[in-house]
Chains A and B, each alone.
Chain A
C-alpha cells in the first residue's frame, strides 16, 4: 500500500469515527430539554422580532446569529434581527418601546438607556424563577444594571463589559516598569516612558464628546477615590474635595503630556486606534476591544498585546464601570411566551459558552457575562485568560445611577469633563461646582428634593 492510499484510508477511518461523535454533540445542542424549552413546540410558526444593535460587531452578531437556526428547529419559532447602527440605536429603542403597535418583541439596550423604557418592559422575575436561571451567576454590577437597583428584573445580562488596561508589554519592559494597578502608578509609568525618550505616547485617553465615553474612566477615578455622583439623598457630591482630586488626576494625563494633546477631542475608538497603530503604549477601555490589539497589523503591537484590570486609586478602592446590555421583552409583545422561550435559549450558559468558544464563523468574540463562563478553563484558554481578568474586574465593578433623569445629567457631566480637558488652566473646582448646580436643577425639577 503506497503512502497516498494509507493517508486516504486513515482519513476515511477518522471521518467514520468522528461522525458518531459529531452526531452526539449535535444531539446535545438540538435537545430542547437541554435549554429548558418545550419539546412539544407549542409556539410553532410564531415569528419574533428582535431589536438589536450593530450586526457588524462580532460581539452582537455572534450572539444574535449563531445557532438561531438551531433554536428555530427546536421550537418552530423564527427570529428576525432588526439591526440598527449604534449611532441611531438609542433613538430607535425609545421610539419602538413607546410605540403601542411596535413590531418588536425583544430588545437589547444599554443599561443607562433602560431606565427610560422600564415601564414598557415585561418584568422577568417570575421567568427567572420558573426557568431556573441562576441569578447569582451574574456579577453584582450586572445584576444592578438589569434591575435598575430595584427588585424588578427588566432584562437579562446579554453583552457585558468590564474596563481593562490594554498595554504594550515590550514598552513597559523596556522602561523596567510593572503593570500599573493604580491611577497614580499609571502616571509614574507614563513618566518613565517619557523619560526613556521612546517615540510613543505613554497613554491614550479619550476626553472628547461622543456618547459620553469620556465619563467611563472618570467614574473609576471618582469611585476609586471614595466619592460618587450622588449621595444617598441624591445630592450631587462629585464636586467635593475627593471629587476634585479624582478629576485632577483624570485630567492630569493630558495636562502632564502623557496622553496626546489631541485626546481632548478623541472618542474611545480614536484613542484605541493610537494603541493599535503603535503610537501609544497604554489604553483603558472595554474588554471587547482586546481583539483589535491582538489582531493588530503591526507585529510589535499584536506580539506584545497584554491586558490587566483597569487601575484603582492608590490607598483607595478599585471600582470601575461594569457596562451592560441587558435583553428584555416589550410589554406590548403579542408573543410573550414565545419570547420567553427565546430568552431561555439566548441566555443559556450552553449558548453563551458556545459563542465564546466558536472560532469557525468569523464572528469571534471574548464577550461573556456569566461568572461560570468567565471562570471556565477552556474559555480562558481560548482567549489568553481574558475572562479571568474580566472576572476579577467585575468582582468590584459598579454601575452608574440608574434613574430616568440620568440621561439628562450625562451631557452635563460629559461637557464638564471636556471643558476641563481642553483648557489646561481650567479651574476644576469652579467648573465642577457649576456642573453640580446644573445637575441639582435637573433633580429638583424631577422632584427628588423636599423643597
Chain B
C-alpha cells in the first residue's frame, strides 16, 4: 500500500501552527525589535518595509534603522548589571535550598507508612500555589506585627540566641550585642533576597522531594543491604551509596530549578517590589520595568531578554554537555 506522505503533516500541522504563533513568532519578533529603537510611546519605524505603492520593490530594507545600540547599552547600564547580580545570588540561594531541603524531606518521608503517605499527598500543595499569591502570603507572613514566620523566628531562634548571649556576657571579657528582636525582614537587603529565595524554596522543595522519593524508590534494596553487611553506618550509606545513585536526578532537578530561578518575576512584584532599594530586582523584573512600566523601550527590553536567553542557553548547554553526558 502506498504511503501517504501528507498524513503526518496534517496531523502535526495544527500543533505546529500553535507553536509557531505562540513561541517561534514572538521569539523572532523580539529578536527583530532588539535591533531597533522601538519606543512604545511613538509610532515605530522598522527596517523592513513592504511595498506600499505599485512599482515599489516588494521588500525594502533601511539598514540605518538597525543597530547594536541596545546590546551595547546593556553592559553600561548599572541597573541591568545589578539585576544580573541579584539574579545570580537569588538563583544560588533558591536552587541550593530547594535541592537540599527537598532531599532532606525525601529521606524523611520515603518509607511506607500512613503518616508518610499523607505527607507525600500534602507535599504537592505548596507547588500548586500561584507564584503571585506566594509572594503576597510571604509578605504578610514576614510582617513584624502579625506575621507567623516573624513570630517563629523571634520566639524560636532570636530569643533563645539572645538568652545564650546574655549568659555569655556574664563571663569575663565577653561583650556580645544581643540580636535586635524587631527584624524587618523585607527592609534588609540581604534578608529580603534570602526570603525571596525561601518563598521559592517553599514551593519547590516539596516537588523536588517527590522527585527524590521516586528516585529513592527505584534504588535496589539489595545495594543498601550489601552496604550494611559491609559495616557501613546510616550516614556512610547516605553519603557513599544513596547520594551517588541520586546524582542524575539531582543534576536534572538542579538544572530545572536553575532555569526557573533565572526567570523569577511574580514574587518580586508581589513580595518585595524589587526592594529594598534594588536588592531584589531580578533580570525579568527589570526587563518588565524597562519594556512596559518605566521606559517603554521595547527595543531595549527585547535586547535584554535575548541576553537572558543567551545566559539560559549557555547554562543549559553546559549542563547537558559537560555534566549529564558524562553520566
Contacts and interface: CB of A to CB of B under 8 A. Distances in A.
Contacts of B185: 265
Interface string B168-201: 0000000000000010111111000000000000
B292 A94 contact: yes
Interface in A110-155: 116-117, 119
B275 A415 contact: yes
Which of B184, B272, B275, B295 gathers most chain A CB within 10 Å? B275
Interface string B16-60: 000000000000000000000000111000000000000000000
A119 B275 contact: no
Interface stretch (A352-360, A373-381, A403-411): A403-411
Interface in B256-295: 269-270, 272-278, 288-289, 292-295
A422 B40 contact: no
Contact of A91 (B186, B188, B293): B293
A94 B288 CA distance: 13
Nearest to A214: B275
A95 B291 CA distance: 10
Interface centre among B187, B270, B289 (most CB of A within 10 A): B187
Given A98-B40, A261-B184, A415-B278, A408 B295 contact: yes
B296 A94 contact: yes
A90 B269 CA distance: 14
Interface string B292-303: 111110000000
Contacts of A404: 41
B143 interface: yes
A348 interface: no
Interface string A65-104: 0000000000000000000000100110011001000000
Contacts of B274: 209
Contact of B273 (A91, A98, A209): A209
Contact of A90 (B184, B275, B293): B293
A98 B187 contact: no
B190 to A, nearest CB: 12
Nearest to B274: A209
A262 B187 contact: yes
A267 interface: yes
B293 A265 contact: no
B290 to A, nearest CB: 9
A208 interface: yes
A279 B145 contact: yes
A98 B291 CA distance: 13
A265 B41 contact: no
Which interface residue of A261, A265, A279, A408 has the most chain B CB atoms within 10 A? Answer: A265
B40 A419 contact: no
A208 B40 contact: no
Contacts of B296: 94, 116, 407
B293 A262 contact: no
B144 interface: yes
Contacts of A265: 184-187, 275-276
B179 to A, nearest CB: 14
Contact of B277 (A95, A117, A408, A419): A419
A98 B272 contact: no
A91 B289 CA distance: 9
Interface residues of A, number: 31
Nearest to A213: B273
A264 B41 contact: no
A429 interface: no
A333 interface: no
Contacts of B273: 208-211, 267
Contact of A262 (B42, B143, B272): B143
B184 A264 contact: yes
Nearest to A90: B293
A422 B184 CA distance: 10
A43 to B, nearest CB: 29
A391 interface: no
B40 A411 contact: no
Contacts of A274: 145
Contact of B145 (A91, A94, A95, A262): A262
A181 B273 CA distance: 32
A404 B145 CA distance: 39
Given A90-B292, A94-B292, A261-B144, A418 B275 contact: yes
Contacts of B189: 422
Contacts of B145: 260, 262, 274, 279
B276 A261 contact: no
Interface in A249-269: 260-262, 264-265, 267
Nearest to B188: A422
A116 B40 contact: yes
Contact of A87 (B42, B184, B269): B269
Contacts of A117: 41
A87 B132 CA distance: 11
Contact of B294 (A98, A260, A407, A418): A407
B187 A264 contact: yes
A99 B295 CA distance: 17
Contact of A411 (B269, B270, B288, B289): B289
Contacts of B188: 422
A267 B140 CA distance: 12
B60 to A, nearest CB: 21
A417 to B, nearest CB: 10
Contacts of B42: 119
A209 B275 contact: yes
A95 B275 contact: no
Contacts of B270: 87
Nearest to B297: A408
Q: Residue among B277, B289, B295 with the most chain A CB within 10 A?
A: B277
Contacts of A419: 276-277
Interface in A377-428: 404, 407-408, 410-411, 415, 418-419, 422
Interface of B: 40-42, 143-145, 182, 184-189, 269-270, 272-278, 288-289, 292-296
Q: Pick the 7 closest A-B CB pairs, nearest first.
A: A209-B275, A209-B273, A91-B292, A265-B186, A265-B187, A264-B187, A210-B273
19 contacts: A87-B269, A91-B288, A94-B292, A116-B41, A208-B187, A209-B276, A260-B145, A261-B182, A262-B145, A262-B184, A265-B276, A407-B295, A407-B296, A408-B294, A408-B295, A411-B289, A415-B277, A422-B189, A422-B276
